Amino acid sequence: MLDSVLEGWGLVESVRRVAVVGAGIMGHGIAQLAAQSGYEVFLMDIKREALDEAVKKIRWSLARLAEKGVISKERMDDVVGRIRTTTSLEEAVDGVDFVIEAVVEDIEVKKNVFSKMDEHAPEHAVLASNTSTLPITEIASATSRPDKVVGTHFFTPPVLRPLVEVVKGKKTSKETLQLAVDLAKRLGKTVIICRKDVAGFIVNRILGPVLHEAAWTVYRGEATVEEVDSAIVYGAGLPIGAFRLADYIGIDTVYMAGKAVSERDPAAIMPCPIFEEYYRKGWLGQKTGRGFYEWGEKGAPAVAKEAGERINSISIMAPAVNAAALLVRNRIATVKDVDLGVKLGLGYPKGILELADEWGLDRVVSSLEEKRKKYGEYYTPDPLLTRKVSEGKTGVEAGEGFYKYK
């Protein structure tokens, strides 16, 4: 029976109190967003020192916003005053309407947290996970309310990044999904919806093949790191090369994310061994001073434009287009949401499907077929791509691809 607090169920106006569980980079950023948006917030962590540090970082972040004139000094104090901290999960979720979990990316840890949140939160409360890769359906299985469990994947840092992926678990109700979408919008975010609980959701489902295909190209001896990154930046028109991005993200993070996604769905990504090799050696990228690049005081060296001239950038990007096509064909995401996710989540100047239309879907399919013959079934073109090519809908030059141009 639904609690009267959410009478008119699904109306975001009914949400008054929000709890955030986990006070790390994501957690304290989400708590700040909720407080800035007018909600009463409980921020919970098992460590008091983590909470104290989180409040310091929130004050620092708000001070920067005040310096830029985004908020007033009075508003800054009001926002901080809306956030209460606690080391008690029971206290944090007592009487709340919406809970966002932002603990470590470990399925057993998350299931344990959700089980406890379910035990102590009001019946009407929605329980959301900020996971970037783990299955919402499995997390929800630890609760007695799987219909009220949903994914809300914020991007780092959540105060600055404009995107949230809302993910529907197998049993997530339409009302829960809509409430999560509306709340994310109230927090000032642009929302994309992942309508099925697939490995990698939308953005990481596309980013994974970009990073790993770049790595395979080097691993197979077809190009150097510099050549691949040059081709991606100057050939494909992306803002950053795959290897430089991996170094920024952290090779440990890339390795673990790829492992998690491929274990959930072997067809989603073909992990390149080079990431595990670097992970084992401790070459984790910028944070350790060495990854695919050597990171000195001035950063990594720039990549020369001419370095990638002999490399076919479409060949590197084709598996990512294939992944995007699968999402659209299976109605996991719309063309609009796929491209919006790539632009806002990865900083691409255009969506992956917009780019594919510009490159020519026939060229994308040809690249995939060539790789399939050499390296296996992972590269089999998605039926949506082959159908579009057979119908002559190959992109911009043909007047229609994923978009219409005439």
Query: Whole-angstrom Cα distance, residue 55 to residue 44?
Result: 11
User: pLDDT at residue 392 above 50?
Assistant: yes
Beta strands in 195-248, from DSSP E residues, in sequence order: none
Angle at 200 between CA 353 and CA 170, to 5 degrees: 110
Give CA–CA dist 381/319, Å, rounded.
Answer: 8
Helix 251-264 to helix 273-281 angle (10° resolution) is 140
8 Å CB contact between 278 and 251: yes
Please give the pLDDT value at position 70: 87
Catalytic residue among 28, 124, 130, 165: 165
Give every CB contact of residue 164 below 8 A, 6+ residues apart in sequence: 152, 153, 154, 155, 184, 187, 189, 190, 191, 192
- What the block records as the tokens of 38 is 């007018």
Q: Which of 38-42, 83-87, 308-312, 326-330 has the lowest mean pLDDT?
A: 308-312
Dihedral of alpha carbons 362, 366, 372, 373, sign? positive
> How many other C-beta atoms can be found within 10 angstroms of the C-beta atom of residue 25?
14
> Where does the pLDDT of residue 11 fall: very low under 50, low under 70, confident under 90, or very high at 90 and above?
confident
Per DSSP bridges, beta strands 190-194 and 149-154 are unpaired
Could you please report the per-residue DSSP string of 219-264? HTTS--HHHHHHIIIIIS--SS-HHHHHHHH-HHHHHHHHHHHHHH
Confidence category of residue 3, pLDDT binned at 50, 70, 90: very low
Average pLDDT over every residue of 144-154: 99
Determine which one of 61, 129, 130, 132 is catalytic: 132
The one catalytic residue among 204, 262, 313, 315: 204
Is-cis flag, bond preceding 301, omega within 30? no
132 is catalytic: yes
Catalytic residue list contains 204 = yes
Q: What does the pLDDT read at residue 91?
A: 98
What is residue 406's predicted lDDT score, i.e. its pLDDT?
77
Spatial contact of 164 and 152, defined as CB atoms under 8 Å apart? yes
Mean pLDDT of the chain, nearest integer: 95
> Catalytic annotation on 212?
no
Sequence spans of domains, the chain: 4-194, 202-406
Indicate if the pLDDT at residue 133 is higher than 80. Answer: yes
- Amino acid at residue number 169: G
Place of tokens 């035990």: 119
> Quick one: tokens of 284?
């984790």
Mean pLDDT over 132-161 rounds to: 97
Contact, 105 vs 156, CB < 8 A? no
Element (H, E) at 74: helix 73-81
**Which tokens belong to 248?**
């920024």
In contact, 364 and 356? CB cutoff 8 Å:
yes
Whole-number Å distance between alpha carbons of 396 and 15: 45
Q: Which H helix or E strand runs over 319?
A: helix 313-329
Q: 28, 124, 153, 212: which one is catalytic?
A: 153
Label residue 318 by pLDDT band (50, 70, 90).
very high
What tens digit of pLDDT does each residue of 211-260 get? 999 999 999 999 999 999 999 999 999 999 999 999 999 999 999 999 99
In the predicted model, is pLDDT for residue 5 greater than 70?
A: no
Classify residue 306 as exposed, middle or buried by CB count within 10 Å of its CB (0-12, 13-18, 19+): exposed
- C-alpha torsion sign, points 277, 282, 286, 291: negative
Tell me, which fold does domain 202-406 have in CATH?
Answer: N-(1-d-carboxylethyl)-l-norvaline Dehydrogenase; domain 2 (1.10.1040)
Helix (H) or strand (E) holding 57: helix 48-67
- Which SS3 state, helix, strand or coil, does residue 260 take? helix
Q: Which DSSP symbol is given to 235?
A: I
4-194 topology per CATH: Rossmann fold (3.40.50)
| 101 counts as catalytic | no
Instruction: Tokens for 283, please give them.
Output: 């070459």
Q: Tokens standing for 399?
A: 């007047």
CA distance 91 to 97: 13
Identify the sign of the CA torsion 364, 365, 368, 370.
Answer: negative
The band of 297, judged by pLDDT with boundaries at 50, 70 and 90, is confident
